[in-house]
Amino acid sequence: FDIEGVAEPVRLAFLLAHTEFEDKRVKFSEWGAMKSETPFGQLPILEIGDDSRKMTQSMALLRYVGTMEADGSLYPKEFMFEIEEAIALLADLDKAWGPALYFPRKPTAFGHDDPDFAKTDKGKEAVKTMRETFVSEELSKYCKFIENLLEKSGTGWIAPTKTPSIADCVAVPALRKFSRGFIDHVPSDCLAPYPKVVDYLERFCALPEVKGRYHDGIGGVPKEE
């Protein structure tokens, strides 16, 4: 899909590995016809060369791309544990964000009778409360953990790797999205209380391989007219 979504860490890993890839974005209108032909009814899918195999699951693709790179610097064995620890922490953040994100789309999955609950005044209020609570409780907790990891690594990256690893490819989109201002009730300055996180995101986005890729949020540059 033409969003950052779960594929963005894989795209970033390709960029950092200096490996060319065709980034084919699927339109939501095309998805209905495609879905049943995908292995698990999900995107993204990676097809390599003439291999007819459709590889899927973004986190598996990410590790795979991480090992494709010749010098192994994206996913070095010696820091495998630290990289995996950071990726798992970011998965926890994602899990904590899940209900607040998906609730308005499918309230019946969260114990509500009315599928249109999110359109009611009470429903709108509930979404606002959930998201504000997420920002004040969960996002703050995880940002502090991430500041701890950055401090512990001492290299400027989330794991103690000299250059960015696949953990940074996960961390940057996962954190940056909250600063992009497109999510109702999540203010674009919500990361401001965590200057080390802001500095980290800006530093990653300023890498030659990434520079100019983003046009909103922290590390984004305004589009030239």
Which parts of this chain interact with its own copies (CB under 8 A)? 39-42, 55-61, 63-64, 67, 77, 80-81, 84-85, 87-89, 91-92, 95, 98-99, 103, 107, 109-113, 117, 123, 126-127, 129-130, 133, 141, 145, 148
Helices (H), 69-110: 80-102
| 117 vs 200, beta carbon nearer its own copies | 117
The least CB distance from residue 215 to its own copies, in Å, is 30
| 11 vs 63, beta carbon nearer its own copies | 63
Q: Position of tokens 């995880």?
A: 142
Burial (Cβ within 10 Å: 0-12, 13-18, ≥19) of residue 100: buried
The least CB distance from residue 64 to its own copies, in Å, is 5
The least CB distance from residue 190 to its own copies, in Å, is 19
**Cα(52)–Cα(136) distance, rounded to whole angstroms?**
46
The least CB distance from residue 27 to its own copies, in Å, is 23
Residues 62/70, Cβ–Cβ less than 8 Å: no
| 183 vs 207, beta carbon nearer its own copies | 183
Residues 54/47, Cβ–Cβ less than 8 Å: yes
Q: And the tokens for 95?
A: 């899990």
* CA-derived radius of gyration, the chain: 18
| 92 vs 184, beta carbon nearer its own copies | 92
